[in-house]
Structure 1
């Protein structure tokens, strides 16, 4: 009696479906998020909130936006990129690495002069004189003013008030804004230019002055999904970050929702 071919066809179909399902299963991992160093506390809080909704907690990697953008353009796989400025997101977009229609600027910040917590001086930052007098023969910590967003904003502000040429030789350049903050915390520099949220995150520094918003380009944090994204939660987590609920988390850490 001949054997019916139907079970064989069913087995073959099941095998094909299983084979195609393997990559999908392998890709079912939490999103890998490359985020600006200044977002450490707030992005961790957002990841915790996302996990609290029943999702796997995103994997977070923090560094200067410039370093992260270079990694992405070199082919590093990731799901989301959150930059501390628009130009580095522009660079990633020009490289063709962004998923179309997913770029959104969702946060703002302020630029401040940080001092050690026990230094009670207040430094007006609408002109060069008070800052030059406060620094004297000391040093000024900054993220790299030629590449890192916080450094670029800081250089623009110092140029605007006419202090850059005299302060440039005194600048201690750090790889990112948190490294600049650490120099002030350790006393390696009496002052540092950081974001208001960075100063707020440390109990070892205080804000000695705030740069006028008009002294530098607007500080805007864009987020985008990358074309290399494979996590099924990549787009949902991006949408969570830019939602009212997500922005409220960042607002608690001093960011301004856009």
Structure 2
């Protein structure tokens, strides 16, 4: 009897140990470990706003480039600050936020480089342009050369402010070389940027205006009266550069590189710019 009871106790103990052992062999946290494998560690790319200070004459081309670039880079928002290159230069010198600068003249980029406000090795001449004189598409004044600006029917001649608008400075050079700048002062209407010059001619507030070829091609309300002799003014170059103070250097450099891609250059050419060789 005692032997039978003892055997039963040993058997029960053995079953208990076997159950504990099986339980211990179960991996700890197996259920939670299984669910962890279904959790993605990928986080969406952080949105970045890039501010591009650009010459007003680049408005249309950059508008098209903006669409294609943002479609390929959904986390990037391009914000353009268009204006006269001289005014944009001053803004950058005074600490206004900007990640890239696209100027319509080297004279507005060079001071920024000299002040170390442009990233070293991240600036170059991207494009070139031409200066033309435009008149209203339905204009009656016969204008075919600089000399025609003296005619009585030409009452207003629009130019960008030479000190801050490169197109205005190029026009001043050409008119000075033709010995007409001083004589035409009573007729002069100055504008804050080249697009305002275009607008003055479109609305009939000026009989003639000096703009870039690229601006003239964007409007059906004006026509090119004549192409200004390129020998009479400095070469029109468009330098671009990454601003030293950018808070998004990688994204700024990526867009800087994209502007040099064939896809971007094709857009610029479409709008009348030329690519330096």
Q: Per the shorter chain, which TM-score range?
A: 0.7 to 0.9
Q: State how many pairs are aligned.
A: 230
The two structures have a TM-score, normalised by structure 2, of 0.78
Residues 232-251 of structure 1 mapped to structure 2, 5 A cutoff: 232-251=250-269
Q: 2:179 aligns with which of 162, 179, 203?
A: 162
| Contact in 2 for aligned 1:121/1:208 (Cα 8 Å) | no
Give the C-alpha shift of residue 37 in structure 1: 0.6
Give the C-alpha shift of residue 121 in structure 1: 5.7
| Corresponding residue of 1:173 | 190
| Corresponding residue of 2:24 | none
Matched, 1:33 2:58: no
Give the C-alpha shift of residue 77 in structure 1: 1.6
Give the C-alpha shift of residue 130 in structure 1: 2.5
After superposition, give the CA deviation of every residue in 1:108-127 in whole Å (9 maximum; x if it has no partner). 111011110112666333xx
Matched, 1:48 2:84: no
Q: Secondary structure at the match of 1:256?
A: coil
Q: Secondary structure at the match of 2:125?
A: strand
Question: Which whole-Å CA distance do the structure 2 matches of 1:142 and 1:186 have between them?
Answer: 15
Give the C-alpha shift of residue 247 in structure 1: 1.1
Could you tell me which runs of 5 or more consecutive residues in structure 2 were left unpaired when the two chains were aligned: 1-44
Q: Secondary structure at the match of 1:138?
A: coil
| Corresponding residue of 1:139 | 156
Q: Secondary structure at the match of 1:115?
A: strand
| Contact in 2 for aligned 1:123/1:208 (Cα 8 Å) | yes
Question: Which whole-Å CA distance do the structure 1 matches of 2:126 and 2:96 have between them?
Answer: 24
| Contact in 2 for aligned 1:33/1:60 (Cα 8 Å) | yes
Question: Which whole-Å CA distance do the structure 2 matches of 1:137 and 1:42 have between them?
Answer: 31
| Contact in 2 for aligned 1:115/1:205 (Cα 8 Å) | yes
| Corresponding residue of 1:107 | 127
Question: Which whole-Å CA distance do the structure 1 matches of 2:144 and 2:202 have between them?
Answer: 21
Matched, 1:253 2:271: yes
| Contact in 1 for aligned 2:51/2:98 (Cα 8 Å) | yes
| Corresponding residue of 1:130 | 148
Q: 1:89 aligns with which of 106, 109, 112?
A: 109
After superposition, give the CA deviation of every residue in 1:86-137 in whole Å (9 maximum; x if it has no partner). 0000122222210001111111111011110112666333xx432322x645
| Corresponding residue of 1:207 | 224
The two structures have a TM-score, normalised by structure 1, of 0.84
Could you tell me which runs of 5 or more consecutive residues in structure 1 were left unpaired when the two chains were aligned: 1-24
Q: Secondary structure at the match of 1:101?
A: strand
Residues 12-23 of structure 1 mapped to structure 2, 5 A cutoff: none
Max Rg structure: 2
Following TM superposition, where does structure 1 have runs of at least 4 consecutive aligned residues deviating by more than 6 angstroms?
A: none
Deviates more, 1:72-81 or 1:145-154: 145-154
Deviates more, 1:74-83 or 1:155-164: 155-164
| Contact in 2 for aligned 1:48/1:57 (Cα 8 Å) | no
